[in-house]
Protein backbone atom coordinates (compact mmCIF):
# COMPACT_ATOMS: atom_id res chain seq x y z
CA UNK A 1 0.00 0.00 0.00
CA UNK A 2 2.81 2.37 0.91
CA UNK A 3 4.49 1.68 -2.42
CA UNK A 4 1.28 2.38 -4.29
CA UNK A 5 0.98 5.73 -2.57
CA UNK A 6 4.61 6.48 -3.32
CA UNK A 7 4.18 5.66 -7.02
CA UNK A 8 1.02 7.70 -7.04
CA UNK A 9 3.02 10.68 -5.79
CA UNK A 10 5.77 10.11 -8.31
CA UNK A 11 3.39 9.94 -11.24
CA UNK A 12 1.45 12.93 -10.10
CA UNK A 13 -1.95 11.45 -10.71
CA UNK A 14 -4.94 11.26 -8.43
CA UNK A 15 -7.94 10.22 -10.42
CA UNK A 16 -10.53 10.36 -7.73
CA UNK A 17 -9.84 13.90 -6.60
CA UNK A 18 -9.40 15.30 -10.10
CA UNK A 19 -12.45 13.53 -11.48
CA UNK A 20 -14.48 14.68 -8.49
CA UNK A 21 -13.23 18.22 -9.01
CA UNK A 22 -14.21 18.19 -12.70
CA UNK A 23 -17.66 16.80 -11.97
CA UNK A 24 -18.16 19.27 -9.14
CA UNK A 25 -17.43 22.20 -11.46
CA UNK A 26 -19.57 20.62 -14.19
CA UNK A 27 -22.51 20.43 -11.78
CA UNK A 28 -21.87 24.01 -10.69
CA UNK A 29 -22.11 25.13 -14.33
CA UNK A 30 -25.33 23.17 -14.91
CA UNK A 31 -26.90 24.41 -11.68
CA UNK A 32 -26.22 28.04 -12.57
CA UNK A 33 -27.38 27.57 -16.15
CA UNK A 34 -30.60 25.94 -14.97
CA UNK A 35 -31.23 28.86 -12.60
CA UNK A 36 -30.60 31.57 -15.18
CA UNK A 37 -27.17 32.63 -13.88
CA UNK A 38 -25.52 32.71 -17.29
CA UNK A 39 -22.53 34.75 -16.15
CA UNK A 40 -21.67 32.28 -13.39
CA UNK A 41 -22.19 29.38 -15.78
CA UNK A 42 -19.82 30.99 -18.27
CA UNK A 43 -17.13 31.53 -15.61
CA UNK A 44 -17.67 27.96 -14.44
CA UNK A 45 -17.12 26.71 -17.98
CA UNK A 46 -13.80 28.54 -18.14
CA UNK A 47 -12.77 26.96 -14.85
CA UNK A 48 -13.91 23.57 -16.16
CA UNK A 49 -11.73 23.99 -19.24
CA UNK A 50 -8.73 24.87 -17.09
CA UNK A 51 -9.29 21.91 -14.71
CA UNK A 52 -9.87 19.47 -17.56
CA UNK A 53 -6.74 20.57 -19.40
CA UNK A 54 -4.70 20.20 -16.21
CA UNK A 55 -6.16 16.74 -15.65
CA UNK A 56 -5.46 15.73 -19.24
CA UNK A 57 -1.87 17.00 -19.08
CA UNK A 58 -1.14 15.03 -15.91
CA UNK A 59 -2.69 11.86 -17.29
CA UNK A 60 -0.94 12.20 -20.64
CA UNK A 61 2.40 12.46 -18.85
CA UNK A 62 1.63 9.45 -16.66
CA UNK A 63 0.53 7.38 -19.68
CA UNK A 64 3.70 8.24 -21.55
CA UNK A 65 6.00 7.43 -18.65
CA UNK A 66 4.33 4.08 -17.97
CA UNK A 67 4.16 2.95 -21.64
CA UNK A 68 0.40 2.64 -21.48
CA UNK A 69 -0.67 0.75 -24.63
CA UNK A 70 -3.98 2.66 -25.04
CA UNK A 71 -2.35 6.06 -24.67
CA UNK A 72 -3.17 7.41 -28.14
CA UNK A 73 -6.87 6.64 -27.91
CA UNK A 74 -7.09 8.08 -24.40
CA UNK A 75 -5.21 11.24 -25.40
CA UNK A 76 -7.48 11.75 -28.40
CA UNK A 77 -10.50 11.61 -26.12
CA UNK A 78 -8.88 14.31 -23.95
CA UNK A 79 -8.50 16.48 -27.06
CA UNK A 80 -12.15 15.97 -28.02
CA UNK A 81 -13.37 16.85 -24.51
CA UNK A 82 -11.16 19.93 -24.20
CA UNK A 83 -12.22 21.17 -27.66
CA UNK A 84 -15.87 20.61 -26.77
CA UNK A 85 -15.54 22.61 -23.55
CA UNK A 86 -13.62 25.36 -25.39
CA UNK A 87 -16.40 25.53 -27.98
CA UNK A 88 -18.99 25.83 -25.20
CA UNK A 89 -16.96 28.64 -23.59
CA UNK A 90 -17.01 30.45 -26.93
CA UNK A 91 -20.78 29.96 -27.39
CA UNK A 92 -21.65 31.02 -23.84
CA UNK A 93 -19.47 34.12 -24.17
CA UNK A 94 -21.66 35.05 -27.15
CA UNK A 95 -24.91 34.36 -25.28
CA UNK A 96 -25.60 31.19 -27.27
CA UNK A 97 -26.82 29.32 -24.21
CA UNK A 98 -28.09 25.79 -24.58
CA UNK A 99 -28.68 23.59 -21.55
CA UNK A 100 -28.69 20.43 -23.64
CA UNK A 101 -25.06 21.08 -24.61
CA UNK A 102 -24.15 21.01 -20.92
CA UNK A 103 -26.10 17.80 -20.25
CA UNK A 104 -24.40 16.15 -23.21
CA UNK A 105 -20.98 17.33 -22.06
CA UNK A 106 -21.61 15.83 -18.62
CA UNK A 107 -22.42 12.48 -20.23
CA UNK A 108 -19.27 12.66 -22.37
CA UNK A 109 -17.12 13.43 -19.31
CA UNK A 110 -18.74 10.65 -17.28
CA UNK A 111 -18.17 8.22 -20.13
CA UNK A 112 -14.50 9.19 -20.31
CA UNK A 113 -14.02 8.66 -16.58
CA UNK A 114 -15.89 5.35 -16.64
CA UNK A 115 -13.94 3.93 -19.57
CA UNK A 116 -10.58 5.57 -20.37
CA UNK A 117 -9.68 6.74 -16.87
CA UNK A 118 -10.79 3.49 -15.23
CA UNK A 119 -8.86 1.39 -17.74
CA UNK A 120 -5.71 3.39 -17.13
CA UNK A 121 -6.20 3.11 -13.39
CA UNK A 122 -6.50 -0.69 -13.70
CA UNK A 123 -3.36 -0.77 -15.83
CA UNK A 124 -1.42 1.19 -13.19
CA UNK A 125 -2.68 -1.01 -10.37
CA UNK A 126 -1.53 -4.06 -12.33
CA UNK A 127 1.91 -2.54 -12.83
CA UNK A 128 2.26 -1.73 -9.16
CA UNK A 129 1.44 -5.26 -8.05
CA UNK A 130 3.84 -6.87 -10.55
CA UNK A 131 7.04 -8.37 -9.09
CA UNK A 132 9.32 -6.41 -11.46
CA UNK A 133 7.83 -3.14 -10.34
CA UNK A 134 8.17 -4.17 -6.72
CA UNK A 135 11.80 -5.08 -7.23
CA UNK A 136 12.57 -1.82 -9.00
CA UNK A 137 11.07 0.15 -6.14
CA UNK A 138 12.92 -1.91 -3.57
CA UNK A 139 16.17 -1.55 -5.50
CA UNK A 140 15.79 2.19 -5.79
CA UNK A 141 15.01 2.58 -2.10
CA UNK A 142 17.79 0.32 -0.93
CA UNK A 143 20.55 1.35 -3.27
CA UNK A 144 20.56 4.87 -1.93
CA UNK A 145 20.46 4.02 1.75
CA UNK A 146 22.20 0.68 2.39
CA UNK A 147 25.66 -0.67 1.83
CA UNK A 148 25.77 -4.05 0.00
CA UNK A 149 26.50 -5.98 3.22
CA UNK A 150 23.49 -4.47 4.97
CA UNK A 151 21.36 -5.14 1.91
CA UNK A 152 22.26 -8.86 1.85
CA UNK A 153 21.75 -9.21 5.61
CA UNK A 154 18.23 -7.82 5.26
CA UNK A 155 17.40 -10.35 2.55
CA UNK A 156 17.31 -7.81 -0.25
CA UNK A 157 18.98 -10.18 -2.70
CA UNK A 158 15.64 -11.74 -3.62
CA UNK A 159 15.40 -9.08 -6.32
CA UNK A 160 18.97 -9.44 -7.54
CA UNK A 161 21.87 -7.08 -6.93
CA UNK A 162 21.22 -3.42 -6.37
CA UNK A 163 22.83 -0.73 -8.47
CA UNK A 164 24.97 0.14 -5.46
CA UNK A 165 26.06 -3.48 -5.06
CA UNK A 166 27.11 -3.61 -8.69
CA UNK A 167 29.35 -0.58 -8.34
CA UNK A 168 31.27 -1.93 -5.31
Site residues for Fe ion per CB under 5 A: 59, 116-117
Query: What is the smallest separation between the CB atom of 142 and Fe ion, expressed in angstroms?
Result: 34
Query: What is the smallest separation between the CB atom of 109 and Fe ion, expressed in angstroms?
Result: 10
Cβ closest to Fe ion, residue 18 vs residue 139: 18
Alpha helices in the chain (DSSP H): 2-11, 15-34, 38-65, 71-93, 99-112, 118-129, 131-145, 148-153, 163-167
Could you give the CA distance from residue 108 to residue 21 in angstroms, rounded to a whole number? 16
Cβ closest to Fe ion, residue 22 vs residue 165: 22
Could you give the CA distance from residue 46 to residue 52 in angstroms, rounded to a whole number? 10
Cβ closest to Fe ion, residue 3 vs residue 119: 119
Query: What is the smallest separation between the CB atom of 15 and Fe ion, expressed in angstroms?
Result: 8
Could you give the CA distance from residue 17 to residue 23 in angstroms, rounded to a whole number? 10
Measured between its terminal Cα atoms, the distance across the chain in Å is: 32
Cβ closest to Fe ion, residue 108 vs residue 159: 108
Radius of gyration, alpha carbons of the chain: 22
DSSP one-letter code for 130: S
Query: What is the smallest separation between the CB atom of 14 and Fe ion, expressed in angstroms?
Result: 12
Query: What is the smallest separation between the CB atom of 49 and Fe ion, expressed in angstroms?
Result: 15
Cβ closest to Fe ion, residue 42 vs residue 59: 59
Amino acid sequence: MEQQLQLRDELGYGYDSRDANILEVMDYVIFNAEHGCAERAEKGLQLLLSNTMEHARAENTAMLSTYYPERTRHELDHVVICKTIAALCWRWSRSQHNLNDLYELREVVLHHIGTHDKNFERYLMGRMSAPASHCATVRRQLSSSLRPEEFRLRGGNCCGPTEAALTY
